Amino acid sequence: TTDIYYDDDVDGSYLATTTVAVLGYGSQGHAHALNLHESGVDVVVGLREDSASRAAAEEDGLTVTTPVEAAARAEVVSVLVPDTVQPAVYERIEPELEEGNTLQFAHGFNIHYNQIQPPEHVDVTMIAPKSPGHLVRRNYENDEGTPGLLAVYQDYTGDARERALAYGKGIGCTRAGVVETSFKEETETDIFGEQAVLCGGIAELIKVGYETLIDAGYSPEMAYFECMNEMKLIVDLMYEGGLGAMWDSVSDTAEYGGLTRGDDVIDDHVRENMEEVLEQVQNGEFATEWIAENQANRPVYTQLNQAEKDHDIERVGERLRALFAWEEATEGTEDEDQTR
């Protein structure tokens, strides 16, 4: 079984005498910076000169300077700009990494796929909250924690694990529990999950279900409710109590039909497709493609992003969500502040 680290397992004293540079003040950046600051850690935020995030960080009472200056002042450099811009930002701060410093990440992409190659004289660690930044922040404010992952890629000092855990404690992760993994495992499972199940898989499942009903002559409203809106209710049950809670809660007809037909839909062919997707993650094909896509200014991304916005289900959903009071009741609570 996997070890899980909690607050009591962590000697947080390392951070009491340490300056942490948080590069970026977006989803994760603002949460890490504010949580560490309120945990008593000396935090300096690193942002580019013309940064749109600068005002927010300053209003929140934090010290803001450039990424290079922040890295120069700090012993721990937490890289929380978007993954696609990390190599360029890293290149500029690399000369500031002194012997025994820590390079800290929240996702393993650039280390695992060799887009960032740190010098030997630093620790390279990861504390990856398993949640969007606004929840990392909100949980901390509510004296709650956010589960997280710990990984050590390079242990120069011999204290890399302990120091990363101190960071995890500072942002509130060890309140909930921190599980140890590797950069490789975190990166590959994270990317596979978002492609096959969480983002790609579920979006296609919803659209194909919707289109199947529309093509058979059913109304868009019914198709939307059945294939998209109810998804949240089902997922909430799984989140609370696993598949069991979901099966217990739906009707016996839904349970029998789902158990007998589910694997006709998600059949062996889908399993083979998933294996192929995983292989492209493991052999670096996906990473190479995504890096090239960014270097070319995202032609495919831009087109697919627009096509998704233009899908019928989005217009139907917009109209229906505006008509029903249930949306108003939840609006602005779950999803506010997502990107600041």
Which residue out of 30, 107, 112, 134 is catalytically annotated?
107
- Cα–Cα distances in Å, from 79 out to 149, 190, 199, 303? 16, 18, 24, 29
- Cα–Cα distances in Å, from 76 out to 89, 150, 260, 278? 15, 15, 53, 33
Q: Which residue is nearest to Mg ion (CB)?
A: 190
Q: How far is the CB of 250 from Mg ion (least distance, A)?
A: 8
Are 135 and 337 contacting, i.e. CB atoms less than 8 angstroms apart? no
107 has catalytic annotation: yes
Nearer to ligand NDP, 10 or 111 (CB): 111
Q: How far is the CB of 135 from ligand NDP (least distance, A)?
A: 8
Angle between helices 252-265 and 230-249 (to 10 degrees): 110
Q: Which among 227, 233, 235, 220 has a CA at the least distance from the CA of 320?
A: 220
- Distance between CA atoms of 334 and 308, rounded to whole angstroms? 23
- Distance between CA atoms of 132 and 146, rounded to whole angstroms? 10
Q: How far is the CB of 9 from Mg ion (least distance, A)?
A: 25
Task: Say whether 25 counts as a known binding-site residue.
Answer: yes
- Distance between CA atoms of 23 and 336, rounded to whole angstroms? 22
Residue 190 interacting with Mg ion (CB under 5 A) = yes
The footprint of ligand NDP on residues 72-91 (CB under 6 A) is 80-83, 85, 89
Residue 195 is given by DSSP the state: I
Nearer to ligand NDP, 154 or 210 (CB): 154
209: tokens are 């279900």
Q: How far is the CB of 226 from Mg ion (least distance, A)?
A: 6
Residue 168 interacting with ligand NDP (CB under 6 A) = no
Q: Which stretch binds Mg ion (CB under 5 A): 79-87, 119-127, 191-199, 298-306?
A: 191-199
Q: How far is the CB of 101 from ligand NDP (least distance, A)?
A: 19
Sign of the alpha-carbon dihedral angle for 165, 170, 174, 179:
negative
Residue with tokens 């009903």: 213
Nearer to ligand NDP, 62 or 316 (CB): 62
287: tokens are 């990473």
Among 111, 128, 151, 237, binds ligand NDP (CB under 6 A): 128
Positions touching Mg ion (CB under 5 A) are 190, 194
- Binding residues, as ranges, are 25-28, 48, 51, 53, 133, 190, 194, 226, 230, 251
- Binding residues for substrate, as ranges, are 251
- Binding residues for Mg(2+), as ranges, are 190, 194, 226, 230
Positions touching ligand NDP (CB under 6 A) are 24-29, 47-48, 51-53, 80-83, 85, 89, 106-107, 128-129, 132-133
Active-site amino acid positions: 107
